[in-house]
Structure 1
Amino acid sequence: MLSSLRAFLILFKFNGYLASPNVGPSFGKCLAVGMNSPNPYVQHRGQPRNRQTAKLVILLLLLALACLTCFGTAYYLFKTSYETRNLGLGRAIYADTPTYQVDVSTHVNGPRVVQSTERFLAYLPHSGFHNQRIAFENALVLARILGRTLIVPPIRLGNKPIPYYPFDRLSRQLALADKTGLKHCADVPSRLALPSECLDYYDSTLLPWNSLVDLTPVKTKQDLLPRWNFSEEWFSEELGITDDEEIRYFRDQTPYQYRLVDNGGGANDRTWYTEDIAIDFLAQQTQRLLVFGTLFGSTRLKLEVEAHQMIRKEIRQAMTIAHPVLDDISQSIFRALGGAYLAIHLRASETKFRKSSQVNAQALWWTLLHCWYNATADEILELEEQMQGTSTQPRTLSGTTYLSTPSARQCKPLDDVEKYALASASRSKCRQSTAHPSRLSVMGLNTPFLYIATDLNNSRHQPLLDRFRALFPCVVDISDFSQYLNPLDHTINPMDGVPLRTHLFPFLDALVAAKATRVVGTKGSTFSYYIEDVLWRRFHNVPIKQRG
């Protein structure tokens, strides 16, 4: 650019001083002679100084205009190229699958009109998805019993969840985690470093609940009002509640402070909670808004009134994952496995589960052999002795210990119909030659597929899973079905531009596990309980299991 400008100036000087239309072709020579000649009659011709200044000003103005035009064009291309890229990718979402759009109308167009007589119930979400889901279920149940509109926060997905804090601090944390004013972060191209304010932008994303769960049955029976930020002004700006006396806060200081009961409760039957609040007492409150902190906890609501129990059952049944892309992919994997397989769900990467991963893996192992294949403790112990050469894992759970657990006492062996379906699927799609020969004494010739859903990375190389791979000839996980996963690469949250693949992956894993003939999960995991109690039972037309 500098060389072009230099050439332009030289050309302008030549044209202005040596090639003026008012000067003859021999002027250059005359001028040279005249300057060196003592002849007083030779005149020095030159342009008036004011004309030179005018041309210089015009030149500078033209250069300034050119620079502004260049910078303006560059800025326009910078903005529109990345916006076009994002919009194009957005249009490509689910290009090879049925059209699916996340409902963001309440976020874009604002909430519905609030009635002056309308009464509300709000709560503060925290922790991972399944803790948020349980809190949401409890809030839905409580709001319907009380006849109040539930203020619904979005789902927060990410690898850095907001943990539980006492009420006031949790309120501040949620307000600070808002992405307002950071929309430009999604437009920064990957080849450029993110600005400092955008460093945590992709760590989390917010989604409306109806993007993962079909709330249609719920919304036919109660009112819901989305809440997309946790600023202190939200209640006054969106609900028109400006009088503090119209709000009643239940400011918890510990995660298990309040239990909500419909029968009066009592200290004798409390296990986790320190205080009981009667639902009848809440029904008598005249404030327009009741605000709770955490509502997480499978036993948070102690319901003995049959009508209340039915409400909870109905709401929990509605909490099945309903996402077109996830449904299509999981169904493709289900068919690829022949429509019949066994599954385990092992949580082992988080600190809580990492410490007990050996015991949990052994419990899953014993469930497979004792519960489903009716093997005795002696048979399983003998099998483990024979397989020690193929597994580096120590024996951390004895048969006597496992067989004394409630899950072992209540387990149900595979019936003939299930065994036939499993054998048919494995015969047609699984090579049986790679399994340990000792399996024949327990499982017979046609060992089924085993699907492993887990949060462990590179599960094929995890010693924790060696015993399963040694026993089953066909052990598979989500990585074996990469040909079906491409649609996940095109799922983007339209509200903040965050790619959703990593956030949706655990749900896909759960759906595949839940469609298995049998599935067993990790003790103490709300995610595993969700798969066992809700998803698996819904897919197999079995009444869901209620906890609490």
Structure 2
Amino acid sequence: MTSTQDNKRKWRILKQRNPKYLLTLVLVFLTSLYILNESSIFSKSEWYPPEEIPNEVIESSDSSQATSLPGDSEDISVPESFTQPEPTPFAYPSSDYGVSYKDRVDPDTHKYIVPNGPSPPGEKYIAYLPHNQFNNQRVALENAILLAHYTNRTLILPYVYFGRHNQWRPFDTLYKQNINSNTKEHLEHCKKYIGEEVKSKVPVECRHYERWTTMPWDHLFGDLPAFYENEGLKVISTVNISVEWIMANTGVDREDFHYFKDGVYYGAKIYDDPSSTTPLGRYRGRLELSEFMEIPHRVVYFESIYGTGRIMHEVKEHREFFSRMVRSMTITYPGVLPTADKIIARLGGRQNYMGIHVRVSDGFFSRNREANIKQIIERLKDFTIPLRSSSEIKPSTDFSTTDECLANYTLSTNMPLIYMATDFHKTRTSNLYSPLYEAFPCIAVLDDFIPLLSELDEIVNDVDQLPMKKFLIPLVDMVVAAKGTKFVGTARSTFSNFAYKLHRIYVDGIAEFEDSKVYAG
């Protein structure tokens, strides 16, 4: 009998004689895996942004690259349609209009069809399901405010989420995720376990309590309430966006809801100018604002309102409103600006550096990272060539650390000092970033300023008492990059989109804004 046969015989006997022993082995194995997963062995350093699920994991043979961190982007890698079977709807009726975009869009004209008719008396509302990461939620916020303004509907505004996020899914699935998992209701007792390092002491229902947090948007953007008042906007901010909550707080009947259930990431594109020739782009159907306003239902509930350019603002009045709205969305949350300003002072002040954002970690950005980095380098050269000749791009001085860079950097070197916000760490040892460092050796990153982040240690969210440091650090990174004398971002990144808008407010004092896919200026 061979050794293998002998082992199989022993294992068969063991299974027959000791079923409880086998069960114990399995339980011990599974428990060990869980403990390893929950332990700090796999945890990132304390200041890393919270773990989020990217669209794709970056594939690279470069073993020197650090673990990728989540950024914010147009989720270009999300499939156009989601083919998993829909769960049985609950808590709301099925809409008569549109189980998917195919039921709404004329295939010949691409016109998006909505119901019309006499409207019942009473206040009208817009609601929507939030999804994906912070900057995707911010784009949805912009679109929702625009549409509420156009239609004079009250906006039922969900809180902003940091850390945990729901990926886009068709309406019924996304609705369930938002109602069931985006709440800390009934978890008040979990607050006393915040910071507990021994996971076995933490109740099971509290073990993910610290992974995510939420707050009203106006806690982050403190100028929003004044903006709402000045513009005559009615906004109801709520963590609960269930149909039951809306009915209870508005008096709207269940049959007076109209749902946008497109089943695709980019469904309707709403045009404010009927004469517009702007193409649909990635969107599936054209919906005229005038026709949207004829929807009689008191509540219009969107599966998703996310997407740059989804709600057009081509009419002059609407462009002006959009610009006022953008200017009201500067970050005022405690600690963010003071911390960013400390880093900026260390860099020599706003006029002493240029900011860039390099997104490389997942999905579309992983596949196009080399091209995106090349494009950023070329745009930086556009800004800096007047200051120096190309032969001066590689100085003999060692700039392998930010300290060396700052110590040796002077205006007389004619070499730009650059602050790079990015979704990777240890960039100096990563081959991916080599072209950037070869062209512009004097690059500072957030890793170089860890001691200056200490002010964030004491900041706690009033909503759930969570320490906010790990959630605020990406915002600090963004603000530092945005306040540079010039800014160059990654095309189609919503992080770059916001940083560029902030740059134009902080540095250029621009009064008008337009959406763009390329962020440089």
1:123 maps to 2:101 = no
Q: How does 1:333-482 map to 2 (within 5 A)?
A: 333-339=343-349, 340-374=352-386, 429-432=406-409, 445-472=413-440, 474-482=442-450
3-state SS of paired residue (1:522)? coil
Residues of 2 paired with 1:198 and 1:138: CA distance? 34
Q: Distance in 1 between matches of 2:313 and 2:437?
A: 44
Change (3 A) 1:535 1:207: farther
**1:174 matched to which residue of 2?**
178
* Equivalence map 1:54-453=2 (5 Å): 117-158=122-163, 160-177=164-181, 178-188=183-193, 189-193=196-200, 194-213=202-221, 214-220=223-229, 221=231, 222-241=233-252, 243-264=253-274, 269-339=279-349, 340-374=352-386, 429-432=406-409, 445-453=413-421
Unaligned runs of 5+ residues in structure 1 are 1-115, 392-425, 434-442
User: 1:533, 1:544 within 8 Å by CA — same for their partners in 2?
Assistant: no
Separation in 1 of the partners of 2:280 and 2:320?
23
How far residue 292 of structure 1 moved from its aligned partner, in angstroms, is 1.5
Q: Say which one has the larger Rg.
A: 1
Q: Are the structure 2 counterparts of residues 279 and 187 from structure 1 closer, same or farther at C-alpha, using a change threshold of 3 Å? A: same
What percentage of aligned pairs have identical amino acids? 29
- CA gap of 1:444–1:470, structure 2 versus 1, over 3 A, is farther
Once the 2 structures are TM-superposed, how far is the Cα of residue 299 of structure 1 from its aligned partner? 1.1
Question: Contact 1:364–1:522 (CA<8 Å) still a contact in 2?
Answer: yes
Q: Secondary structure at the match of 1:373?
A: helix
- Separation in 2, partners of 1:325, 1:127: 25
Q: 1:252 Cα deviation (Å)?
A: 1.9
Contact (CA 8 Å) 1:320, 1:535: kept in 2 or not? Answer: no
2:494 to 517, 526, 529: 526
Task: Give the Å deviation of 1:444.
Answer: 6.8
Over 3 Å counting, the alpha-carbon distance change for 1:172 and 1:458 in structure 2 is: same
TM-score, scaled to structure 1: 0.64
The SS at the match of 1:343 is strand
Q: Paired residue for 1:52?
A: none
Q: Check 1:248–1:261 CA distance in 2 against 1; reply closer, same or farther (3 A cut).
A: same
**Counterparts of 2:133 and 2:311, CA distance in 1:** 20
Secondary structure (helix, strand or coil) at the match of 2:416 reads: coil
Deviations 1:117-147 (A, max 9, x none): 3321111111111111111111101101111
Q: Secondary structure at 2:415's aligned position in 1? A: coil
Tell me: CA distance 1:230–1:466, structure 2 relative to 1, closer, same or farther (3 Å). same
Instruction: Output the amino acid matched with 1:173.
Output: Q
In 2, are the aligned partners of 1:212 and 1:321 still within 8 Å (CA)?
A: yes
Comparing 175-184 and 471-480, the one that deviates more: 471-480
Using the alignment, how far apart are the partners of 2:310 and 2:192 within structure 1?
42
Residues 249 and 528 of structure 1, relative CA distance in 2, 3 Å threshold:
same
* 2: CA distance, partners of 1:543 / 1:152: 26
Structure with a larger share of its residues in helix: 1
Uncovered stretches (5+) of structure 2, i.e. residues with no partner: 1-120, 517-521
SS in 2 for 1:218: helix
Change (3 A) 1:198 1:352: farther
Q: 1:223/1:431 Cα in 2 relative to 1: closer, same or farther (>3 Å)?
A: same
Letter in 2 for 1:210: D
Residue 473 of structure 1 deviates from its aligned partner by: 5.5
**Matches of 1:190 and 1:495, distance apart in 2:** 22
Mapped to 2, the partners of 1:196 and 1:428 lie a distance apart of 48
Kept in 1, the 8 Å contact 2:487–2:503? The answer is no
Question: 1:162-209: per-residue Cα shift (whole Å, max 9, x none)?
Answer: 111112221111112122112222322333423322333222211110
Cα distance, 1:504 vs structure 2: 0.9
Does the aligned pair in 2 maintain the 1:139–1:295 contact within 8 Å? yes
Find the aligned partners of 2:312 and 2:242 in 1 and give their Cα distance: 32
How far is the alpha carbon of 1:332 from its aligned partner?
Answer: 1.8
Q: Is the 8 A contact 1:266 1:276 kept in 2?
A: no
2:446 alignment partner AA: I
- Normalising to structure 2: TM-score of the pair? 0.67
CA distance in 2, matches of 1:249, 1:428: 55
Of structures 1 and 2, the one with the larger relative CO (CA 8 A, separation 6+) is 2
In the alignment, is the contact (CA less than 8 A) between 1:317 and 1:544 conserved in 2?
Answer: no
**Offset of 1:248 from its aligned partner?**
2.0
